[in-house]
Structure formats: structure tokens, C-alpha cells
């Protein structure tokens, strides 16, 4: 299958090696991501088709199996009534439907294997796509960082100590604002799953202790009477 061959080529691609050899690694990775996204969409389509075909073959198998069972019932009825000729005709139908049932069962099994292969390929390609996206993001971040460092170096060479001091103060303020914004975001963020469970467990413990206190109080009151 041409699609699986193309996907296999993408899966075998060594991203780090490609980055080292490429003249423009960022452009290469972006194109690789686009190729993978395109192939992923095609594989998803093929998986859906394969699953639909698998269900269709299984449905056909069940239909022919039911037909075989029905003609077998008719053959038994004919035998019980002494109509051997009718029984023979019914048994011929049974044999025919049994043969078709077996054929559809084999086709359904083959189709299931193909669908499973496509599912596995889809998972692998999705994982590779996520890996490539991450590499692309890391590389772009490195490029941006290099550009920023380069501009900062030129700026430090062209300005005096006073300007450098002002720049440091500005950066400090930016970092402080960023930290304050991050802290505010954490405060406003909804409780995490772990925090919710911790609150639930604490509530349960409080209820347990309260129940124990009430029990002791009730026992003491009963003893006092």
C-alpha cells in the first residue's frame, strides 16, 4: 500500500540527523510536520474505511450464518415429515451458506488484521508528529534566543554603562511583572485534581472525627442516665 510506504518513510526519519544536515532546519521541520499532518489525515480516513469494511463483512457473515441455520431447520422439518427430496434441497442450501459464511469469516479476519495494522500505524505516526512538533518548537525557540542574544550583544557594545544599567532595570521590571502575572494566574487557576481529592479526603476525615465525637457524647449521655 503506497500510503503505508510513505508513512513508513516518515516514521524512519531521524529528526536529529535531518536537523544536522539541513541548511534551514526550521523550514525542513515545518515541512516535515505538514507532511506528517497530511499523511495522518489520510491514515485516519483509511482506518475509518477499514473498520467500516470489517463491520460490513462481519454483518454478512452473520447473515449467511443465520440463513444456514434457517435452512438446516427446514431440512430437519422435511425429514420429520418424510420429504427427503425437500430435505436434500434444504441441505444443499445449508452447504452453500456454510461455505459463504466461512468465506466472509476469513475476509472479516483479514480485514480486522488490516484495520489493526492501520490503527497501530496511526498511533505511531501521531507520536512521531508530536515529537517533530516539539523538535520544531525547540529549534525555533533556540533561533529566537540566538537572535535576541545577538541583538543584546550589539546593543551592549554600542551603549554605555548608564544605558546598560537602565536596560537591566527594565528587564528586572519585566521579569517582576511576569512573575506577578504568573503568581496571579496560579491564584486564579481552578484547583487541580490532586487538590480536589485532598479537600475531599480532608472533608471525609472531618466527618469521621465528628461522627466519633457524637458517638462518644451519646454514649456518655446514656451512661449518665
pLDDT digits (tens, 9 = 90+) for 3-54: 666 666 666 666 666 666 666 777 777 777 888 888 888 888 888 998 999 9
Q: Which domain holds residue 85?
A: 2-158
My answer on whether 75 and 112 are in the same domain is yes
Burial 110-128 (b: 16+ CB within 10 A, else e): ebbebbeebeebbeebeeb
My answer on whether 184 and 153 are in the same domain is no
My answer on whether 109 and 167 are in the same domain is no
Distance in angstroms (rounded) separating the CA atoms of residues 142 and 17: 17
pTM: 0.52
My answer on whether 98 and 196 are in the same domain is no
| 110-136 average pLDDT score | 84
My answer on whether 199 and 164 are in the same domain is no
Contact assessment for residue 108 and residue 57, using Cβ atoms and an 8 Å cutoff: yes
My answer on whether 199 and 181 are in the same domain is no
My answer on whether 99 and 123 are in the same domain is yes
Sign of the torsion angle spanned by Cα atoms 129, 35, 16, 30: negative
Domain count, the chain: 3
Contact assessment for residue 104 and residue 61, using Cβ atoms and an 8 Å cutoff: yes
Amino acid at each position: 500500500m503506497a500510503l503505508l510506504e510513505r508513512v513508513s518513510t516518515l516514521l524512519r526519519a531521524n529528526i536529529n540527523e535531518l536537523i544536522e544536515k539541513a541548511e534551514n532546519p526550521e523550514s525542513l521541520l515545518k515541512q516535515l510536520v505538514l507532511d506528517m499532518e497530511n499523511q495522518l489525515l489520510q491514515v485516519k480516513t483509511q482506518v475509518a474505511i477499514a473498520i467500516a469494511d470489517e463491520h460490513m463483512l462481519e454483518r454478512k457473515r452473520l447473515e449467511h450464518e443465520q440463513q444456514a441455520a434457517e435452512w438446516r431447520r427446514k431440512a430437519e422439518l422435511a425429514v420429520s415429515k418424510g420429504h427427503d427430496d425437500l430435505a436434500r434441497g434444504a441441505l444443499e442450501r445449508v452447504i452453500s451458506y456454510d461455505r459463504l459464511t466461512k468465506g466472509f469469516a476469513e475476509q472479516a479476519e483479514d480485514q480486522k488484521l488490516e484495520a489493526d495494522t492501520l490503527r497501530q500505524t496511526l498511533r505511531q505516526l501521531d507520536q512521531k508528529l508530536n515529537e517533530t512538533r516539539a523538535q520544531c518548537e525547540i529549534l525555533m525557540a533556540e533561533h529566537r534566543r540566538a537572535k535576541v542574544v545577538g541583538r543584546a550583544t550589539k546593543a551592549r557594545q554600542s551603549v554605555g554603562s548608564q544605558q546598560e544599567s537602565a536596560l537591566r532595570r527594565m528587564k528586572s521590571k519585566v521579569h517582576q511583572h511576569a512573575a506577578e502575572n504568573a503568581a496571579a494566574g496560579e491564584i486564579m487557576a481552578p484547583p487541580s485534581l490532586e487538590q480536589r481529592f485532598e479537600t475531599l479526603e480532608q472533608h471525609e476525615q472531618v466527618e469521621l472525627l465528628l461522627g466519633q465525637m457524637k458517638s462518644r457524647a451519646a454514649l456518655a449521655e446514656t451512661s449518665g442516665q
